[in-house]
Amino acid sequence: MECEKFMQIFLELDNGEALPEGAAAHLETCARCAAEARGLEELMSSPRVWGNLAPGESLVSGVMARIVKGQAAWAAGKEFFSENRRELSLRNWVGTGLFILLGMFLIPFSTILPELNRIIPGLRIALPLVLGLVITLYGALFIGSHLNVFRRLLGASPPPASPFVE
Amino acid sequence: MAEDAGKKQPNEKAAASSREISRDEERKIIEEVLAGKTDSYAALVRAYENRIFSLGLRFFRNREDARDFAQEVFVKAFERLSAFRGESRFSTWLMKVAYHHGISAYRLRKDTESLAGDFALPAGEDGPEKLHARGAAREALVKAVGRLPERYRLCVDLYFSFGMTYEDAAAVTNIPVGTVKSHVFRAKQALRAALKDSDAEDFKSGM
């Protein structure tokens, strides 16, 4: 193997990768390449010190304290929500949805709307926006509170375990 | 390299204090943490605190901010631990979390100088004459890395300073492996050319 070919292979080597057989054989017979490779290897490995600087005092206690604090806050939040959570039956959800739909259909027949339109001129533009927001909010709340049902229906895998276990 | 990192601190010399852990050990610790044994996580922090702190110095250039950064990274990694699938080493995954956290923090803090701009090489164990001769070669590597576009500097730094493989450096930075390889190769070529020059100078001065 030629010296230049060897150097090409040597420079292309990955960290921790061994020289291929032919190149290793060349290294044993060529003193010049061996010296050059040794010099380069020494220089290339010298920046390793800069990837392993100690932060002085260990970070362990600080990190663990933050984690424990986070877990306590998470547990407190979970407790708050579980205590204050109210289950809404499916019948109530459907009832609310039908009420919103019915409201939408009845609005054009209402006499209140022309009256309101006289007081607030831009109401016709604002009304679809308000209705859109109401439907979006209703849909988001329904999906958000029935995630497990949707997950089951779609055959998705259960969520991964959280490190914030009780 | 960070300004602070340039000054040698006594504890930096004993940098190899962090304990190496095997892949099996890592997996066992992660399983324990996910099962609720939070204290086990301390072993992972101990093993990788030097790496993450060193990466923090690349972004923040001072020890205090780098310490804060490292703590935030470990807490973030803990919170996301369930997303670690074990396809790569934990260290690579952790570096990825740290790199992205650092990049977003760096973008928020425009007061910092260019990223990894002071890529520096320690003097090593050579004597003063050899040190002088090799100085030019070291300088050449610093220059070669400094010439790279900012986003590639850190991936070359990950290869040289953190000893990562091409694939791991690419995975951490989301830069294609081929691009990482070619930038590292060019840096190595620059180093080789400078080493040849310095050896020639050595030879001349020795005559």
**Least confident span in A28-32, A45-49, A153-157, B180-184:** A153-157
Cβ atoms of B180 and B159 closer than 8 Å: yes
Torsions phi, psi for B78 (to 5 deg) = -60, -45
Complex-level ipTM beyond the 0.85 threshold: no
Report the residue from A47, A70, A163 with minimal CB separation from B33.
A163
Q: Which of B36, B141, B29 is nearest to B89 (CA)?
A: B29
Domain extents in chain B: 3-108, 128-206
Report how many helices (DSSP H) and strands (DSSP E) chain A contains, helices first: 8, 0
B128-206: CATH architecture: Orthogonal Bundle (1.10)
Report the residue from A53, A67, A166 with minimal CB separation from B78.
A67
Tokens representing B100 are 């992205």
pLDDT, tens only, B29-60? 999 998 888 899 999 999 999 999 999 888 88
B3-108: CATH architecture: Orthogonal Bundle (1.10)
Could you say which residues from 93 to 112 on chain B have a Cβ atom under 8 Å away from some Cβ of chain A? none
Percent of chain B exceeding pLDDT 70 equals 70
Count of pairs with CB atoms under 8 A, one residue in A, one in B: 161
Task: Output B157-160 pairs: Cβ under 8 A, ≥24 positions apart.
Answer: B157/A47, B157/A51, B157/B58, B157/B116, B157/B119, B158/B95, B159/A15, B159/B184, B160/A44, B160/A47, B160/A48, B160/B184, B160/B187
CA A36 to centroid of chain Cα atoms: 47
pLDDT, tens only, B137-189? 667 777 777 777 777 788 888 998 889 999 999 999 989 999 999 999 988 88
- Alpha-carbon distance of B53 to B73, in angstroms, equals 10
Cβ atoms of B160 and A41 closer than 8 Å: no
Q: Which of B64, B38, B40 is nearest to B53 (CA)?
A: B64
Does B30 touch chain A if contact means CB atoms closer than 8 Å?
no
- Alpha-carbon distance of B103 to A127, in angstroms, equals 44
Count of beta carbons in the 10 Å neighbourhood of residue B34: 17
Does A158 touch chain B if contact means CB atoms closer than 8 Å?
no
Tokens representing A104 are 């939408």
Q: What local confidence, expressed as pLDDT, does residue B200 receive? A: 54
pLDDT of A108 higher than 60: yes
Q: What local confidence, expressed as pLDDT, does residue B169 receive? A: 93
pLDDT of A56 higher than 60: yes
What end-to-end distance do the CA atoms of chain A give, in Å? 63
- Alpha-carbon distance of B37 to B43, in angstroms, equals 12
Work out the pLDDT band at B12, boundaries 50, 70, 90: very low
